[in-house]
Chains A and B, each alone.
Chain A
Amino acid sequence: MEKIIPRNLIKHLEWTPGQALPQPAPVSASSPAIKRFSIDDILKGQPFYSNQKDGDNWVGLPIALREALKYAGSDGIIATMPELIAAKLKTDKNHDFWKQWYTVHTEENIGIDTKGRFYTPNEPVLVVVNGGGILTPDRIELAYAEGLINNSAKYRQEEFDKILDGALPNGDTLALYRLEEIKAGVSNLPHRFGVVMPYAVAQGTPSGYHSKEVFMENPLVIARAGGVEHLDAFFEKAKDTNDDTLGNHHPFAGRDASQPQGRVLFLGNNCYGLDGNFNLNNDGRFVGVAPEAHGAKK
């Protein structure tokens, strides 16, 4: 066989002027930090709390987040829902993580996937983003200024489209997984990743307190926790021992996803569990983890 391939057979591979410039997905700016923080590092993280008000409005959440981000620096992280769950499992109930509720660096966004990137075209989807997505402190404050919708940030369609494309406002990339993949198990998930699920499935899950069986099978719980790996142990450790239940709360009943919107998640100190029911105009308490402060793995 000739070593040179006839051009007409591979012409389709050639770039031509006018064609969109190929942009190889860049390495996420935050990805170097992904593997550098262990759960022990997160356990040593610093809490950043704010309950400030602007008039009658609670505005502490973006303030606490901004302070946590400043503390963490470009190489640090803010604990996400999966990370905080894992950290709580590794410590006893004397740790502050079991004494206080926390805001996690995990946001839930709803909207329409017009292109059907993950499921069918024009299907409403829920996108759970860990490690920072649309809701930066500035964007949250902009949402306050523009007026919230259902106590959530009102997004522009292009913001939601970009998230679905795995592109973040700061130019970083976001690895997105379907719920089914997360449920099947994805190992070595990065700090920053997202889970996409049909919104109807999220809406269909009960909001409130659940028995272990219901909690473990709850697709919204699985999406929020980044898989099933820690659910059993977390349920046992966090449950209300009076009735063997643990909470998972959401505001999706009757909520229309045609207007894209989002808010951040909270993790209750004990049996309140995973929560997306708190308004975006709220207090905030984040866990910042900075490498220099905690000797994170190099």
Chain B
Amino acid sequence: MATNQPDQKQLRTHFIGALYETLDGVVSPTPYFEITEGETVDVAFLNGKARLPKPNTVEINDIDLDVASLFYDDIHLLWEGHTGVGKSHRAKALGETIFGKDGYVELHLESGVFASSPTEPFTKSVMENGLPKVLPDEEKCRKYGLTVFEEINTGNFNDIRTMSEGYINISGNIARLRMPIGDTGRYKNMAILATMNPSDGLHTHGREMTVAGENRFLKLKAANGVAEAGSSQLEKELTGDLHGRFWNRFAELSGMNGEWREIYPLATDSAQFSAVLDGQTREFIDVALGYVGEDPKETHARNTELMQQGNVQPQFTVKDDNDYRKILQAQGTLKHGFVRRDLGKIRNLSRLLAFIKGVKSGTYEAQVNLNDVASAIGIVLESKTVTGTGYGSLMTLVNSALTTYRDLHKILNIPSGYGYRQAVWQSALNAGSEHGFEGYIHTIRNGMNQLNTEALNAAQATIKSRLLADLVVLEHFSTAQEADVKAILQENRGAMKAVEPFTKLYAAKKAEGSIYEHRLGSIMR
């Protein structure tokens, strides 16, 4: 039983502190990217080449990402890189340090008995009616804190898919890969790290991961930092009792003793960080995806279709100019576009980045801001490129979306942390409390008119088209439910009171058209 349990923040502070100290003698960090924040954000992919530290700049390396991923059950990192760059070494070091030699599983999918079934470490054989039968072993399913999939692109992905979702399915017998988080009633999923070689001429055994496969992992390109780190890596070796050293150091820092199976789930409990993004970051996700992951013209056309259904003609367009062609060129490197699962990845990666920044700054908090979301979108996008694509061009698109959205947000004078659509809706509720439905609907139309002006570039046209189309949907919804909206405005003075009943009205009526859910959901939440 663990003793002297500190609070959650102290727990993670000491856990991370002790971990970094222990790993310091074992692995050399390879710089992955650098986030510079100021008026704008810039995410630079470092590809192993660190820069001189600058104010307002955070360097994030591969160890940071691995460590932070342990705090989020639904983020599994997949490191793609050439043999020998240190992917497996780092994963193994992390596994041995935190979980000990018996507490993590390393699966080489290319060879051995596990090649055909990565579930084997979690199963048992029993005799049933005189015949051997394989079943999930509940004890083994709770035994491991981490599974490292080596060369994941050489194995059968079906079992890996279920494992990435936190369970195994053996002939219909399902068991969760998780362990209890103290007496919270919650569970900590088994962490997963994966590595793969690129499917190029040098690695003929590998193949491109399927889209379904990659969607379940966050693929990152493992840089070769050897030329940079040089002889500093010579002393970094996986020797001695790393596990003992780490947990002893943790005990020293925290005054807390206990088995890793007791402390690790508590320290890395996903529930300690809020999963809710604010209105501004949600809105940025909504508007940015149509620009960075889709053909801006198609996004504009789709939104125009909606606007025209609401009798609104956009006064801006995406021009077929060099700017637009550059966007298409950058997007041409994508193996596949955004899918639903990516939204979760973006949200979680934003939280992960915010957390890493919190660790670096010493707050150990995970306050997600717009820059984190932008960085996350960029990283997810870059993870979707075809093998061999250089870094950076897609991040340029994200930065362009971010700058444009920020400028728009500023010009429209919307308070930080809130989205434009959210602000228009709530100000309409406020106006409606004084001037009735007329005040309400005209405020929404005012909000639409403010957007419906000439666009300076493709990013602005695309982003404005999304915001305007969403407000058209809001206007349509409000008009269709005019009697109910009038009643809400009458009975609840101002947004402070009216938001909740309006949200209930939305929930009750959204089934009338899926467009309501798609376009209004993120405003109402």
Contacts and interface: CB of A to CB of B under 8 A. Distances in A.
B313 to A, nearest CB: 5
B472 to A, nearest CB: 8
Contacts of A10: 414-415, 418, 423, 426-427, 430
B427 A11 contact: yes
Nearest to B309: A27
Contacts of A26: 311-313
Contacts of A13: 423-424, 427-428, 443, 446-447
Given A11-B427, A166-B315, A4 B439 contact: no
B308 interface: yes
Interface in A6-49: 6-7, 9-17, 19, 21-28, 31
Interface string B415-429: 101100011101110
Contact of A24 (B319, B418, B426, B452): B452
Interface string A251-282: 00000000000000000000000000000000
Interface stretch (B140-148, B169-177, B491-499): B491-499
A28 B307 CA distance: 12
Contacts of A7: 427, 430, 494-496
A181 B323 CA distance: 12
Contact of B435 (A15, A22, A173, A185): A15
Nearest to A26: B311
B448 interface: yes
A175 B446 CA distance: 20
Nearest to A175: B315
A188 B296 CA distance: 13
A27 B414 contact: no
Given A5-B422, A7-B495, A11-B427, A185 B319 contact: yes
Contacts of A14: 427-428, 430-431, 439, 443, 446
Interface string B452-471: 10000000000000000000
Contacts of B423: 5, 10, 13
A196 B431 CA distance: 38
B439 A24 contact: no
A184 B317 CA distance: 13
B146 to A, nearest CB: 34
Interface residues of A, number: 34
Contacts of B422: 5
B443 A186 contact: no
B520 to A, nearest CB: 15
A34 to B, nearest CB: 11
Contact of A9 (B314, B320, B415, B447): B415
B448 A24 contact: yes
A25 B427 contact: no
Interface string A179-201: 00100111110000000000000
B417 to A, nearest CB: 5
B413 A12 contact: yes
B311 A181 contact: no
Given A10-B426, A14-B427, A22 B448 contact: yes
A165 to B, nearest CB: 11
Interface in A116-135: none
B312 A5 contact: no
Q: Which of A5, A17, A22, A31 has the most CB of B within 10 A?
A: A5
Contacts of A12: 413
Given A5-B495, A13-B443, A15-B443, A27 B312 contact: yes
A99 to B, nearest CB: 33
Contacts of B278: 1
B319 A184 contact: yes
Contacts of B319: 181, 184-187
B436 to A, nearest CB: 10
Contacts of B308: 27, 31
A188 B447 CA distance: 27
A21 B442 contact: yes
Contact of B315 (A17, A25, A188): A25
A28 B494 CA distance: 36
A297 interface: no
Contacts of A184: 319, 321-322
B424 A4 contact: no
Contacts of B409: none
Nearest to B325: A185
A298 interface: no
B108 interface: no
A5 B435 CA distance: 19
Given A1-B278, A10-B423, A15-B443, A27 B495 contact: no
Contacts of A185: 319-321
Contacts of B116: none
Contacts of A25: 312-315, 452
A22 B427 contact: no
11 contacts: A3-B279, A5-B495, A7-B427, A7-B494, A10-B418, A13-B424, A13-B428, A14-B430, A17-B439, A184-B321, A185-B321
Given A184-B321, A188-B297, 14 more contacts: A1-B278, A1-B417, A5-B427, A7-B495, A7-B496, A10-B418, A10-B427, A13-B423, A15-B431, A22-B445, A27-B308, A27-B312, A185-B321, A188-B320
Leading 6 A-B pairs by shortest Cβ distance: A187-B320, A22-B445, A15-B442, A13-B427, A14-B431, A9-B415
